[in-house]
Each structure stands twice: as C-alpha cells, then as structure tokens.
C-alpha cells in the first residue's frame, strides 16, 4: 500500500546528505516550509546548495541555516530584503556563493528539471549582464540565452493538504514554487496543515499529483514567520 | 514444447514483476491487459498519457463516458486518489523520469535495449508515433510485451533493430509468448520459458545470442 | 467591462483567415471542439494548417475540413486510426502535408509557444528517424534534439464551463491539449457546455485563467462524435 | 514651474492610459499605487508574478492573510474571477507576451527603450533581479514610472543607459514627476508636462533629445 505520510518532521528530513541541493518553496512568507527548514537545521546536513526565490529573513528558516554555516551556495532571484542581513553578511564574508537568476528563468529551469528538458532558450536576460557566460542565440530577431534545467536532491515544500498517495492542494499564493519544486527533486518532502482521505481531493482540483511527492508530514500549526520575525527570534540548531 | 503463453498469461507475468507502489504506463493494445492482472495485495498506479493518474479499469456500460478515456481511447474509470492534468503536464511526468515502468508493445527489441514499435518502415505507411518515443526515453524501465516472432516466424529479438527506432537502449525486460528475458549489458538473459522449451529451441527463434540466467 | 462570451458559433469563428494555423484540442473524442470545427467548415477559411493530436475521424470535425479541401498541412502525433480514411486518402493523393511529432514534443512545443520559450532540447526522438533535419546535442550523455515552439493564429478548444472573463474549467480527460492550446494562439476560441457567473469558479480550481481566452461560446449539447461516426454522417460545408 | 507631480498623480495618469480590459502587472514599490487610481468605468485585471490573476486591493486588517500576498509581499485581496497558479505558469504568462502592460520602476530609460531598474552596478551591491527581466521582455508594453532625475539632479532619461540593463528596447512610455513621454523610433516624445514647465526646461533635466508631440 502506498502511504507517503511520515510521522514527524525529524523523520521527514532524517536522510538529507551533506552537499545536497535543496529546493525551498515560498515567496516571502507565503508557502515557506519553515518547520521543515528548522528540522533540517537540527538534522545537521551541511554544504547545502539552496534554490529558492529569496535568501531568508531574520534568523529563521533559510537564514538560520545560513547563519549556522550549513549553506555553501544559494540560487535565487532576489536575495535582498529588509531582513536579509544574515545572507548579506555571509555573502560579503565570502562564506556563501550566490547565483542570481531571473525569477521566471528560475521557475522554468526548475520546471524543466522535473520535465526531462535539459535546456531551453529564453529571451529573459538577453542583452543584460546576466547573459554573461551563457550561450546566446537569436530567434526571430530576439536575443535569447540558453538556460539549463535545475534538478535537486531534495525539495522542501509547504502545501495545504495531502492524502496518503501524496496528492496535494495548495492555499492561495502559497502555491508559488511548490508544484514545480516537487517535480524536480529526487525526494520531495511536503509539510501540510491537513491530511485528507484518499478520494477526498477532487481529481479535477489536485495541483500536485502524488507521483511527485515522496513524504508528507502533518504540521497543523506551522510556524508563523511574521510573528517570529517581529519577535526577533534566533533559531539555532538543537 | 507446450503451448505458447497467451496475452493474458504474459500480462500476468508483467503484473507480478511490477513492484508494489509503482507508477506505470501501459501502452495501447496488448499491454492494456496488464491492468487486469495486478494482484490484490499490490497498489499500482496507472498513468495514461492523455492526462490521467490513478486510472481504474475499463468502464462498464453504465459508467461509460467518452470524455473519460485512456490512451487507447477506450472509456475507463478513475480510482479514488486519481488526478487529471493537461497534456504538457502529462508528458512532463513521462519525459521527466517519474514513471517506474512503461509496458510497450514491440516490433523488435535489440540486445542493446533499442526498441522499434512505431513503424515498420514501409514506404507507403502513414507515419504515426503517438507517445511511444516520449515513453521510451522517459520511463525508468521499459518492458516490451510482444510475440517472440512475427507471424511469418521472423525473430523479433535481434542483434540490431532493422525497423525505425522508437528509443535507443531503453528496453530493460522483454515478455514474449515463449519467454521472459532481462536485457542487460547488451545481452538477452532468459529468466523463464514456456514449459518444455529448451534454451536451444528458443535460440533458434531469436536473432541475438541468449544467455541462461 | 470584459466579456469574452459571444452569441454564436458563427460569430466565434467569423474572422478566421485563409492560411491560418489552427490548434485543435481533443484526444479521440474527448475534448474535441466538433461544433467549432463545423462552424469553421461553414465559415470557409482554407489553406489551413491544423495542429492536433490526431487527424480526424469519419467525415466530421477535422476530417470534414480535410474532405472539403481546406487543410494544407497537419501537425499531429498519430494521424492513423480505424476511421482516419479521409486524412489517409488526402495524404496519399498529395493533397495534404503531414508533420508527425511525438506526442510529448507536440505538447511541449505548444506550451513553449504560449510561454515565450522559442526552443528547447528534448531527448524524445533522439536516435530515431524523427530526429532527421534537427539540431542534435548531447546533455549528460543523452542525445537530444532541438525543438521549436509552435504558435498559432487560432485555437479551437472544448471546455466545461466559462465565466465572462474567460476563466475555464475542463471535464475529466477532455482537458488534454485545451489549456496549453489556449496559451499558444493569438485568438483562443472555446466552446463550453455552461456559462457561470464571475466568482463561481474557485480561484484554486481554475485551469485556464481568462487571460488566455479570447472568445467563449455556449454549446449546451455538443455534437456527440461517437454517435455521428456510428451513423456514418458526412458533414459538408453549408 | 509649478510643483512636480507626486506619485499618486503620476499613478493616476498611468491608470488613465491603460485601456479597459487590459491585463497589467504592477512592479513593486511606486507602480503599486496605480491600483488605487483605476477609474470605476474600467475593468483592468492585475497580475502578480507570484501566481495571481485578478488581484484586488491591499487587504484590510481583518482580511489580512500572509499566504495571500502580492509580488511586494504585502497582503492583498482577490476579485471574483481571480485565479491562482504556480510560478512556472505565472512566468509563462509573463514571458509569453500575454500581459498588455507592465509598469516598472526605473533607474534609467534610454531613448531606444532600454530600461535599467535592477542594479546600480555598484561593485559591493548584492545583486537581486526578481522578475524584472522577465517582465521587461514579456509584456506587450512597458511603462516606466520614476522621478525625472536622481536626488542629485542627474537625468534618468538618457541616450544610453549606464546602469546594467533590465531589458533592451522594452520601454514604450515613461511617466515621471515632471512629464509624460512616449518612447518611439529612438526618441522621447513629450506628451504632457507639469504646469508651467517648458520643453526647454525639461530638456535641461533630460540627457537625450526631446521631441514635442
């Protein structure tokens, strides 16, 4: 019998290896798997490459991983925010590498990683400094760059509900990178606020079919990122 | 040699060899029979390239809905937990390596895993490939279900395919009416044969060297 | 006020021009916009390039267009079926050109047409006769071919329901090519069985956002392809 | 010359110039104000690159939901008819040319339509591009909303951008605190100016030739 549900956050991330590439869903606080990130912090894997839209806020989530020295590199579209000091300091100190990728190119590279497309041409970043080092080609007079797929070892994703097959639905703008990240990782680990019975999700409404999900873990009351940030909480490895 | 296995018997062998929890696409035609032989103690999730995951069996007359069909365009049902998605998402699933097994019909399989199943290469044939090439490169394992020889007795397991390729180096197992074979390291390895068949007899019907398990 | 709804099939296809490229949804009978195809047959546009998974059945829908000499070329994955004689005869008579495209490549080429990706590499068809004439490149030891996007003038699509913004939901396996075809055409024309009020479709469940839809037309009782085929009906231009 | 226009006034001009029924993305920061000035007789559908179409206004305190945010990560609402989708679908919409207008903030705009809005090119700056480059190549029209000059009085409308490009030849209209300009055929064409401003005075604040309408 297929059952993707695991009993704890600890179990969900137990086998993440040093040096793994980890996709992290979320756009700002919406859809950020903070609980899974903290489980990973406690688990101890290091030398990680993170792929996410941002680079973490305050001293929690991705920022806590960076602060604990676990992150060797980050690929993101926008590492700068009002509360991204942890990343900024690590970057200026040369402790972390950064690859800035336009947001749509980042999304498409991840989708292609899951879709078996090794590379694609896009007009985005053509004629800009971000085209440097990339293969350039014109299509219909438009300057395009060749972009490679992103594949990962792990995806950490936050969704609304899962059934035992791992079928997922999301919640409002927390959907963002979740669906594509589940497809591009060898092991997609999803925290959900709710388990539902097989068949409760309408087949017309499932956003991520269970084939893309390896583990689902119930977090009924996920960490409220905004509240933690306001409280100035520093999350350290346990 | 006793009688050759019929398609249902072959399909049952395949169903036996597919692991519990596997995601599987069954090609149009002969492979569809595999769905009828999945043991009750296994949960195997069937994908159909027209945008279905968690396909059930063939629809009964009162379930029949021509807007719910499989890749062979036959009306089918869905299991609880099934999902619908569009064609680009479906082939992202296929090409992206998410299916554990695809069972294809075949014209020829070569010892290096090359599969030919979409065209006999006749000059006047209307070419038609469907999803076979995507499945061939995408699924983690390709099982081919076919007769061991053509109606004319020509071997279909060969050193090199002479028909146009569907996918190169893709086939991992072959299930014929005479034998079950693994394809590994450029060789056909015989795992099972119909009762009374000897390796020597099977070799006569096969155009590539066979190896006993 | 945005209102994508038009009052008749005739109006929906009134301005289709000779020589247009037309995407046609459907997989077998599921999702085939037969009513729109017959409206196009009556409208009279010729020299069309059709893009669809199949090449029509019997003497209705795409087959009727082919039979009336309106189709110059067809791109599809599987033009052969028990009832594809109209296409077969036109092809053998040299009256219609055929480009056979693997089904997943066809779908991805259409998606890329809608997504502003001019071309992508895929392993599908690598090492087969369908790679002929295409640029070949290896990625991670895998032989890949470069495939161009497909963009079209018109998409003819069948969906379940639309609101006045053109938001769409589909019905079971009739979804197939519809969502991607709406994105890749300058003018996406959709026949639906039902109109719903704006706001009736849950934003979590909308499959095609209205931005991709130009015209929706109500066809409460669409043509039953199977019944017409069984009856051997020959649809001729009116 | 009378006072420069404030951001709300500029935003109102933009809202006036966006046609009824348009699909529009508003960049983070200054452009967000355009949403507050859409005339009641126009239905304009706002897209947000984090997967929303049919965005409403900023959420009130009791509507506030941090899982429903815009690209600027502010809590917002949805209109009836709105839809959610994932990031790859959102940027397919953007890159695929489906948005009629995108309003971007800007550091510099050149007379050939080149836009710089993501980096001042300072060597120690943390690079961060977000979705600006995708929007720059994707939207049918790019409107840039910015001050006419920098705080130090340096012109931001230039012959050639000196800051790193966001997109080439993309900008079609510029709305500043001093003027409204079309960008066409490699020239800035002045359509409107603040009261009392002359073309000559505006030219002094602009590093590319201006043309009267």
Query: Inter-axis angle of helices A103-115 and D87-95, to 10 degrees?
Result: 120
Interface A:B, Cβ pairs < 8 A:
66
Confidence of residue A7 (pLDDT cuts 50, 70, 90): very high
Within 13 Å and on the Cβ side, how many CA atoms surround C112? 27
Residue found by looking up tokens 């956002």 in the block:
C209
Inter-chain residue contact A107 with D90, CB threshold 8 Å:
yes
- Inter-residue contact D146 to D103 (CB < 8 Å): no
Q: Please name the member of C1, C113, C203 whose beta carbon is closest to the beta carbon of D43.
A: C1
Could you give phi then psi for residue A226, rounded to 5 degrees?
-60, -45
What superfamily in CATH does domain B7-212 come from?
A: Glutaconate Coenzyme A-transferase (3.40.1080.10)
Looking at chain D, which subunits does it touch, using at least 3 CB pairs closer than 8 Å as the criterion?
A: A, C
**Measured CA angle at C186 (ends C183, C191), to 5 deg:** 70
Given pLDDT bands bounded at 50, 70 and 90, which one contains residue D125? confident
CB contacts of A111 in chain B (<8 Å) are 92
> In angstroms, rounded to a whole number, what is the distance separating the alpha carbons of residues D127 and A101?
10
> What does the pLDDT look like over A103-120, one tens digit per residue?
999 999 999 999 999 999
Please judge whether A108 and C116 are an interchain contact, meaning their C-beta atoms are less than 8 angstroms apart.
no
- From B55, which residue of chain C is nearest by alpha-carbon distance? C173
- Percent share of chain C, pLDDT over 70: 100
- Predicted local distance difference test score (pLDDT) of residue B1: 56
- The reported pLDDT for the residue numbered B132 is 97
Chain D: residue whose CA lies nearest to A142: D137
* Least CB–CB distance from B131: residue in C84, C104, C126: C104
In chain D, % helix, strand, coil (3-state, to 5) comes to 20, 30, 50
Q: Does A170 touch chain B (CB under 8 A)?
A: no
**B160 belongs to the catalytic site:** no
Threshold 0.90, pTM exceeds: yes
Is pLDDT at A210 greater than 90 in this prediction? yes
* Residues comprising chain C, all counted: 238
* Residues in CB range of C53: below 8 A, 6 or more apart: B87, C26, C27, C76, C77, C78, C103, C106, C176, C177
Q: Nearest to residue A49, comparing CAs of A28, A24, A32, A67?
A: A24
What are D's interface residues with A at a Cβ cutoff of 8 A?
Answer: 48-52, 65-69, 73, 78, 84-88, 90-92, 94-95, 119, 124, 126-134, 136-138, 164-168
> Dmax over Cα atoms in chain B, in whole Å?
51
What is the residue-averaged pLDDT of chain C? 97
- pLDDT given at position C82: 86
- Find chain C residues with C-beta within 8 A of B50's C-beta: 27, 30, 173, 176
The predicted model gives D22-51 an average pLDDT of 96
Distance of CA B186 to the CA centre of its chain: 19
Rg (CA), chain B: 17
First to last CA, chain B: 20
Closest chain D residue to the Cα of A108, Cα to Cα: D88
**Contact yes or no for B128 and C125 at CB 8 A:** no
Q: Which chains does chain A touch, 3 or more C-beta pairs < 8 A?
A: B, C, D
Query: Cα dihedral angle (D163, D169, D172, D178), rounded to 10 degrees?
Result: 30
Site of tokens 């009134």: C14
Nearest to C126 by CA among B128, B172, B165, A121: B165
The strand ranges marked E within C15-92 are 21-24, 48-51, 71-76
Q: Token pair of C235, please?
A: 């649809």
The first and second tokens of residue B28, run together, are 């149009």
pLDDT in the model for residue B123: 84
In chain B, residues with a C-beta closer than 8 Å to the C-beta of C58 are: none
* Alpha helices in D42-184, H assignment, sequence order: 87-95, 132-138
Cα D210 to Cα C110: distance, rounded to the nearest angstrom: 43
- Does A211 sit within 8 Å of B81, measured CB to CB? no
Closest CA–CA distance from residue D146 to any residue of chain A (Å): 21
Q: Measured between beta carbons, which residues in chain C are less than 8 angstroms from residue D23?
A: 211
Q: Kindly tell me if the per-residue pLDDT of A29 is higher than 90.
A: no
Say whether D91 sits in a helix, a strand or coil.
helix
Q: Any bridge partners for residue D106, and if so which? A: none
Give the C-alpha separation, C156 to C182, whole Å. Answer: 8
Q: According to the model, what pLDDT value does residue A135 have?
A: 98
Per the DSSP assignment, residues forming a β-bridge with B45 are B23
- Does residue C181 sit in helix, strand or coil? helix
Residue carrying the six token digits 């990680």: A48
pLDDT band (50, 70, 90) for residue A82: confident
What is the domain partition of chain B in residue ranges? 7-212
More confident of the two residues A98 and A81: A98
pLDDT tens, D148-160? 999 999 999 999 9
H-run or E-run covering A12: helix A9-12
| Token couple for A8 | 């704890």
List CB contacts (< 8 A) between C207 and chain A.
204
- C-beta of residue B202 within 8 angstroms of C-beta of residue B179: yes
Q: What percent of chain D has pLDDT over 70?
A: 99
To the question of domain A5-227 being in CATH 3.40.1080.10, the answer is yes
Q: Which helix (H) or strand (E) holds B12?
A: helix B7-17
Nearest by CB to residue A114, choosing from B20, B54, B96, is B96
Tokens of C149: 């996007």
Measure the CA–CA gap between C69 and C63, rounded to whole angstroms: 10
Cβ D95–A123 below 8 Å, yes or no? yes
Pairwise CA distance, residues B117 & A46, whole Å: 47
Name the one residue in this structure whose structure tokens are 């936050």: A158
Closest CA to D205 of D169, D173, D181, D172: D181
**C119-133: burial string, b at 16+ Cβ within 10 Å, e else:** bbbbbbbbbbebbee
Token pair, residue B1, equals 């040699």
DSSP D204: H
What are the Cα distances from residue D49, in Å, to A103, A121, C11, C179, D83? 9, 20, 34, 19, 12
B-chain CB neighbours of A211 within 8 Å are 23, 45, 47, 53, 93, 98-99
Residue B179 and residue B148 in contact, taking contact as beta carbons nearer than 8 Å: yes
CA gap A14, A31 in Å, rounded? 22
For chain B, the residues whose C-beta falls within 8 A of a C-beta of chain A are 20-21, 23, 43, 45, 47, 53-54, 78, 80-85, 91-99, 137-138
Q: Is B27 a residue whose pLDDT tops 80?
A: yes
Inform me whether the C-beta atom of residue A211 falls under 8 Å from chain B C-beta atoms. Answer: yes
Q: Give contacts of A152 with chain B, Cβ < 8 Å.
A: none
Q: What is the pLDDT of residues D56-85, one digit of tens each?
A: 999 999 999 999 999 999 999 999 999 999
**A24, A51 in Cβ contact below 8 A?**
yes
Interface contact A73, partner D, CB < 8 A: no
Q: Is the confidence at residue D2, as pLDDT, over 90? A: no
Asked if C6 and C218 touch (Cβ cutoff 8 Å), the reply is: no
List subunits contacting chain C, requiring 3 or more Cβ pairs under 8 Å. A, B, D
Is B135 within 8 Å of B129 (Cβ atoms)?
no
Catalytic residues of D: 49
Whole-angstrom distance, CA of residue B26 vs CA of residue B142: 10
Is a pLDDT exceeding 80 seen at residue D1?
A: no
Question: Which residues of chain C fall below pLDDT 50?
Answer: none
């Amino acid at each position: 019998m297929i059952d993707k549900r695991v009993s704890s956050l600890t179990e969900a991330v137990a086998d993440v290896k040093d040096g793994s590439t980890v996709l992290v869903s979320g756009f700002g606080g919406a859809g950020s798997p903070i609980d899974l990130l903290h489980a990973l912090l406690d688990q101890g894997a290091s030398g990680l490459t993170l792929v996410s839209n941002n680079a973490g806020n305050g001293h929690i989530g991705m920022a806590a991983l960076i602060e604990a020295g676990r992150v060797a590199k980050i690929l993101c579209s926008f590492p700068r925010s009002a509360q991204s000091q942890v990343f900024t300091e690590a970057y200026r100190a040369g402790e972390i590498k950064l690859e800035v990728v336009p947001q749509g190119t980042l999304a498409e590279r991840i989708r292609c990683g899951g879709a078996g497309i090794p590379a694609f041409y896009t007009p985005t970043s053509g004629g800009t400094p971000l085209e440097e080092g990339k293969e350039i080609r014109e299509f219909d007079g438009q300057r395009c760059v060749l972009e490679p797929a992103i594949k990962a070892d792990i995806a950490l994703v936050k969704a609304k509900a899962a059934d035992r097959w791992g079928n997922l639905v999301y919640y409002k703008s927390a959907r963002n990178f979740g669906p594509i990240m589940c497809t591009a990782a060898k092991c997609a680990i999803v925290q959900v606020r709710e388990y539902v019975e097989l068949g409760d999700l309408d087949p017309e409404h499932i956003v991520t079919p269970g084939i893309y999900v390896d583990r689902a873990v119930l977090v009924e009351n996920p960490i409220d990122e905004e509240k933690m940030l306001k409280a100035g909480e520093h999350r350290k490895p346990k | 040699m006793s009688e050759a296995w019929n398609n249902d018997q072959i399909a049952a062998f395949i169903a036996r060899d597919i692991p519990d929890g596997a995601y599987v696409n069954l090609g149009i035609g002969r492979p569809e029979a595999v769905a009828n032989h999945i043991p009750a103690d296994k949960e195997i999730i069937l994908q159909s390239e027209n945008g279905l995951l968690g396909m059930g069996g063939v629809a009964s007359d009162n379930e029949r809905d021509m807007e719910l069909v499989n890749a062979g365009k036959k009306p089918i049902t869905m299991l609880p937990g099934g999902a619908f998605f569009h064609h680009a998402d479906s082939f992202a699933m296929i090409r992206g390596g998410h299916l554990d097994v695809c069972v294809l019909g075949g014209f020829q399989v070569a010892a290096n895993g090359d599969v030919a199943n979409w065209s006999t290469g006749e000059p006047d044939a209307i070419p038609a490939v469907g999803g076979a090439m995507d499945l061939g490169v995408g699924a983690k394992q390709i099982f081919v279900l076919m007769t061991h020889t053509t109606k004319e007795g020509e071997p279909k397991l060969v050193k090199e395919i002479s028909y146009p390729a569907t996918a190169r180096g893709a086939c991992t197992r072959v299930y014929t009416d005479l034998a079950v074979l693994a394809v590994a390291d450029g060789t056909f390895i015989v795992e099972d044969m119909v009762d009374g068949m000897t390796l020597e007899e099977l070799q006569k019907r096969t155009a590539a060297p066979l190896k006993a398990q």
